[in-house]
Amino acid sequence: MKIKFLLLSILFFLLLILPCVAAAAPKTESEISQSDNSSSLEIDSSPTDSGKPSQESEEKLSCFRILDESSGKILEVSDREFYYGAIVTEMPPTWSEEALKAQAVAAYTYYSRLRAQQEAKPSESLKGAHFTANTENWLVYVTREQMESRFGKQSEEYFEILDRIIDEVYGQTLQYQGELALSVYHAISSGNTEACSEVWGGDIDYLIPVSSPGDIFAEGYETVKELSSDQVKNALQQRWPQVQLNDDPKTWFSNWTFTASGSVHTVDCGDITLDGEDLRIAFGLRSSHFETFYQDGIFQFTVQGYGHGVGMSQTGAAYMAEQGSTYQEILNWYYPGTTLQSVYYSSDS
Give the residue from 189, 214, 139 showing the smallest Cα distance to 308.
189
Same domain, 102 and 88: yes
Same domain, 104 and 50: yes
Question: pTM of the predicted model, to two decimals?
Answer: 0.80
Same domain, 62 and 94: yes
Same domain, 155 and 128: yes
pLDDT at 20: 34
pLDDT at 271: 85
Whether residue 13 lies inside any domain: the answer is no
pLDDT at 329: 98
Same domain, 49 and 195: no
pLDDT at 344: 59
Same domain, 157 and 43: yes
In which domain, by residue range, is 207 found? 184-310
Whether residue 44 lies inside any domain: the answer is yes
Same domain, 153 and 221: no
Whether residue 56 lies inside any domain: the answer is yes
Whether residue 9 lies inside any domain: the answer is no
Same domain, 228 and 155: no
pLDDT at 17: 35
The tens place of each residue's pLDDT in the chain, 349 residues long, gives 434 334 334 333 333 333 333 333 322 222 222 223 322 222 222 333 333 333 344 444 579 999 999 999 999 999 999 999 999 999 999 999 999 999 999 999 999 999 999 999 999 999 999 999 999 999 999 999 999 999 999 999 999 999 999 999 999 999 999 999 999 999 999 999 999 999 999 999 999 999 999 999 999 999 999 999 999 999 999 999 999 999 999 999 999 999 999 999 999 998 899 999 999 999 999 999 999 999 999 999 999 999 999 999 999 999 999 999 999 999 999 999 999 998 755 433 3
pLDDT at 107: 98
Domain count, the chain: 2
Whether residue 326 lies inside any domain: the answer is no
Same domain, 176 and 209: no
Whether residue 82 lies inside any domain: the answer is yes
Whether residue 155 lies inside any domain: the answer is yes
Whether residue 236 lies inside any domain: the answer is yes
Same domain, 276 and 143: no
Same domain, 221 and 303: yes
Same domain, 194 and 287: yes
